[in-house]
Structure 1
Amino acid sequence: MDSIFYNGRIYTMDDAIPQAQAVAVKNGIIMRVGSDDEILKLRSDDTVMYDLHGQTMLPGFSDSHMHLLSYGYSLEKVNLYSARSMDDLIRLGKDFLRDHPGLTWLQGRGWNTDDWEDTRYPNRYDLDKITTEIPMFYTRSCAHIISVNSKALEVMGVDRKTQQIPGGHITFDEEGEPLGIFAEAARDLVYDALPKLQVSDIKRLIVNGARNALACGITSIHTDDFEAISAGEYQKVLDAYHQLEAEGNLPVRIYEQCLLASEPLLRRFLEEGHHTGEGSPMFRIGSLKLLTDGSLGGKTAFLRRPYHNDPSTCGIATFTQSELDDLVLLAQEKGLVSSPHNIGDGAMEMNLNAIENAQIKAPRADMRHSLIHCQITDPEIIKRCRDLNVIMHVQPAFIDTDMHIAGDYVGADLEQTSYAWKTMLDTGLHIAFGSDAPVISFNVMEGIYCAVTRKDLKGRPEGGWLPDQKISVYDAVYAYTMGGAYASYDEGKKGSIRNGKYADMVILDRDIFNIPEDEIKDIKVQATILNGSIVYEAER
């Protein structure tokens, strides 16, 4: 054996051997799982021995939806998540500009006015207080709304004559002048004006982001990276991953959720021969990603009825039903599953219509379509998801903020049937947990804590929000392991500690199944193992 991990408390997530003490690994594959007595007999002179000292081992975690490239990029931008006022936004921008002379664009991410005293969105005049010399933009934490300064508007060529963008919204003031606020598809006006990322940039950002993921015990990532580059330049992302893998520098396993928002672009991608499952054990093409609505906090999530706190809008549907039907059907015909973003119940209904249409017109065996976010729901939608065998990609730590606004935004009745993960499980749906990073942190322990306690990260409310939707610790861990593996057709290769599977594992400083639930969020990852090798180790 190449290595043996022993003297541990190993939870395998495998019903055949639920708990073990030791694991033997050869050539990156788990060869045997069992007791210390059984596994230590397999030791040879060359075997590397790892004494777990009674610590807890789990399968490596899978984040079923994030934006790894954008997360890596966010590490090089102004971090606005701590801002609690417009003055904070301005101060943080000025400080960053002072510490990074020579910038040609100032970029920041993470503002969220939901819990500010002044809840209006930052506009061009606010950001002009930071700089009028170079263009700049600040992205809301949800990524669905961008604010820019006057210099950026000039560079973008946006003025009072600019027309609204289908599937998006540009905010103008009472005099008809642009305020520098762009939502949904209108954000493309900002992105198209930015300096283009090159393959070398993309490689750096991916590696930097993935290293932080390893520190959270994440060994597999389902990621939408095409959204971080201009439409049609997806080959840069593919080249970056292929080069990293060839160099032996790709830190985690990748399942790419491919954002291809137009029929010509999708058709080109498919004609190049891309399909679900194409690739290697480290990098594979996953699904067609479609951004079909916005965010709840931005009031751009598409609802079937008007917002409770703003009856003038139902949000934004970025596609017509016909457009969605055509895209999902085209992908289905060529063997590419779909995983659309949908936060509102209106968007979920549209995507289910498109998936059902594709399955009827072009039936294929084992097409594991999925829905990303699945926040605003009712029992009928959840039942329909089950009937269509759709996988739910859920971000449990979203409730850290959303529990405080959901009722105001969608009404108390719809709030009661939303974020309904227990109902989804009881209905028989497959659930895969993730984070949507950099929208929120990809800290897995925080996600499990939120799913199990239904509390925010400050421990509120006592007893949990919509407590009938609490799930067990086991089910939460399963959603972060086998759930993600199933979504990528990998249930036979990873997601549990079992003979013949990849030796991807994580070591924790506490036993997640035998501590008070309120302490789960404080568990620390001690080490992360990929292909049998320790790729992250906490400082001691």
Structure 2
Amino acid sequence: MNRVCWSFFLLMTFLIPLGAQAPQTIFTNGRFYTVNPKQPWAEAVAVRDGRITAVGKAAEVMAAKGEKTRVVDLGGQFVMPGFVEGHAHLRGLGESQLNLKLNEARNWDEIVAMVAKAAAEAPAGQWIIGRGWHQEKWDKQPAQTERGFPTHDLLSKAAPNHPVWLDHASGHAGIANAKAMELAGVTDKTADPEGGEILHDGAGKVTGVFNETAAGLIVAAYQKHLDALTPEARAKRLRRALRLAMMECLSKGITSFQDAGVDWETLDQLRSFADESKLGLRLWLMALGSPADLRKRLPAYKDLRQAGGGFLTLGGIKAYSDGALGSRGAWLLKPYSDDPTTSGHNVTDLDVLAEIADVALEHKLQLCVHAIGDRGNREVLDLFARKLKGRDLRWRIEHAQHLNPQDIPRFAELKIIASMQGVHCTSDAPFVVKRLGEQRAREGAYVWRSLWQSGAVVSNGTDAPVEDVSPLASLQSTVTRLTRAGETFFPEQVLRREQAIQSYTLNAAFAAFEDQDKGSLEVGKFADMVVLDQDLTKVPGEKIGATRVLKTIVAGMTRYRAP
């Protein structure tokens, strides 16, 4: 591939072509915010072979125009590097489009009604799957609850002949109806699996709620149903889900997506898409599996780096330290303020985590560990310190939601990426103080600014389908910490505007060893951009989420255009 080389001086505002080929496309008449501190603003960008060949003043970039160069007039709109989604789940996002979407349900009664409607339209025995409920966000509580969670009774009455499984919004718990529990072989006497809990009422009856690893009992029963499908039917459903997810991402201005845990079936399908040039956005993947499974399978993917022309990379391994705060699965140093009987769950034995770390070192992959509670984070930091021995391998803690103040500076000291999600803060705010108490929440909950000021690299994302995959909503949360109720959640931890944008572009790329190719508009990097109807450097913080994506450009080609 021929690349254009340019000499830059006077802050790169004057360009001298050195015998280069003419660009294939020039984007001009835009306000380009480059996220490059040496040249923060530009008027035009030239592209050849999917990469940027010039950035600067319109007249100077246009001077390189050839007879076949296509010129795209952006009408004075705001342009910036395409968003890099730093932590989300592509398959889950796609499947959420195929199943019941419970995020907007105002209460348990509405969810039960949705299930009843689905049962009336589906043949008996067909599974009904949904995701997105959160008991702390309803406008009223169910008549029957246990430890704040609904019970399965109304759900079982609504769908007596259909197995039902409804994932909690966090993805770390769920509720099943009687039929699903019957198929899973769950009774009142079923023992809790290690790292999980089956909730019971005062009489010892199962409530239908399965926390952390206990959810695997129901998921295994659902998996048997999926396994009974023909390979063609399974593949067709998977392809459809992945395509829907990619379309959704492009419509939100996302040009790169870091998938926080893919199964091998999904990985093989994505590699097939890459080989067929059918990936619309760039994917960076974390593999999931036990140490033995990873050692067995990873050699077959050792060359999966920027496959399909820079669109698919297997770069990390995903592991879990604990669960989620909303379901009281996050592993805490002290018990929950609203339930002193528990301090959460360690969902992966620490010896197993250590072995996964060894696998990551053997295969030169980044280790990316989910840790939400302060003990979960401390244990992972301790493990990283033992394994890294001072090396900078950009290992990551995914979420890093609640930290003990003593552990905040350790991220920078150990060179650990804080892979966080701005929107989690404002979404979780209604129950954070309830779970942790005022002091713990103020000192250690979603402490983006404290981490940034300590020298840590903070990246951003949404954890979709836990939250909407919109980077703009997450950016608004990052710079305002405003909840839906209009309250500000510990505003001393907001990021400045340029920091927030950097967390969603250059920092997120850095977190995957991809900052040499993406994250800013610079010569030699991929021509991945998003065109917006508002200037994110100036629009009031509370209006960032209302910004419209006008175009999403990947490799110099428009992959999404607003209606």
**TM-score > 0.5, shorter chain as reference:** yes
The residue aligned with 2:255 is 219
Distance 2:124 2:32 in 1: 51
Alignment match of 2:211 (pick from 169, 183, 189): 183
Distance 1:148 1:401 in 2: 24
Deviation at 1:273, TM superposition (A): 5.7
Deviation at 1:153, TM superposition (A): 1.1
Deviation at 1:380, TM superposition (A): 1.5
Paired residue type of 2:468: S
Deviations 1:31-60 (A, max 9, x none): 101111011112223222111111000000
Paired residue type of 2:387: A
Distance 2:490 2:207 in 1: 38
What SS class does the counterpart of residue 43 from structure 1 fall into?
Answer: coil
What SS class does the counterpart of residue 358 from structure 1 fall into?
Answer: helix
The residue aligned with 1:230 is none
Distance 1:148 1:380 in 2: 40
The answer on whether the counterparts of 2:517 and 2:525 sit within 8 Å (CA) in structure 1 is yes
Paired residue type of 1:456: T
The residue aligned with 1:132 is 160
The residue aligned with 2:520 is 496
Deviation at 1:271, TM superposition (A): 4.8
Paired residue type of 2:111: L
The answer on whether the counterparts of 1:276 and 1:335 sit within 8 Å (CA) in structure 2 is no
The residue aligned with 1:44 is 66
Distance 1:2 1:393 in 2: 36
The residue aligned with 1:320 is 349
Distance 1:268 1:492 in 2: 31
User: Cα gap change, 1:164/1:409 in structure 2, threshold over 3 Å: closer, same or farther?
Assistant: same
The residue aligned with 1:196 is 226
Equivalences for residues 169-180 of structure 1 within 5 A: 169-180=197-208
User: Cα gap change, 1:72/1:99 in structure 2, threshold over 3 Å: closer, same or farther?
Assistant: same
What SS class does the counterpart of residue 214 from structure 2 fall into?
Answer: helix
Pair 1:242 & 2:264 matched: no
User: Cα gap change, 1:276/1:356 in structure 2, threshold over 3 Å: closer, same or farther?
Assistant: farther
Equivalences for residues 47-66 of structure 1 within 5 A: 47-66=69-88
The residue aligned with 2:451 is 424
The answer on whether the counterparts of 1:173 and 1:179 sit within 8 Å (CA) in structure 2 is yes
Deviation at 1:14, TM superposition (A): 0.8
Pair 1:455 & 2:482 matched: yes
User: Cα gap change, 1:123/1:286 in structure 2, threshold over 3 Å: closer, same or farther?
Assistant: farther
The answer on whether the counterparts of 1:199 and 1:237 sit within 8 Å (CA) in structure 2 is no
Pair 1:112 & 2:134 matched: yes
Equivalences for residues 51-450 of structure 1 within 5 A: 51-100=73-122, 104-116=126-138, 117-118=140-141, 120=145, 121-194=149-222, 195-196=225-226, 198-226=234-262, 234-260=263-289, 262-272=290-300, 274=302, 277=305, 279=307, 281-360=310-389, 366-417=392-443, 418-450=445-477
Distance 2:212 2:299 in 1: 28
The answer on whether the counterparts of 1:3 and 1:47 sit within 8 Å (CA) in structure 2 is yes
Deviation at 1:307, TM superposition (A): 0.5
Distance 1:276 1:471 in 2: 35
Deviations 1:253-296 (A, max 9, x none): 11112222x22223223454648957552111121111221111
The answer on whether the counterparts of 2:34 and 2:42 sit within 8 Å (CA) in structure 1 is yes
The answer on whether the counterparts of 1:222 and 1:254 sit within 8 Å (CA) in structure 2 is yes
Alignment match of 1:508 (pick from 513, 516, 532): 532
Distance 2:123 2:549 in 1: 36
Unpaired stretches in structure 1, ≥5 consecutive residues: 227-233
Paired residue type of 2:160: T
Task: Say how many residue pairs are matched.
Answer: 525
The residue aligned with 2:35 is 13
What SS class does the counterpart of residue 341 from structure 1 fall into?
Answer: strand
Deviation at 1:326, TM superposition (A): 2.4
Paired residue type of 2:321: T
Distance 2:349 2:362 in 1: 20
What SS class does the counterpart of residue 210 from structure 1 fall into?
Answer: helix
Paired residue type of 2:465: P
What SS class does the counterpart of residue 397 from structure 1 fall into?
Answer: helix
Distance 1:484 1:106 in 2: 36
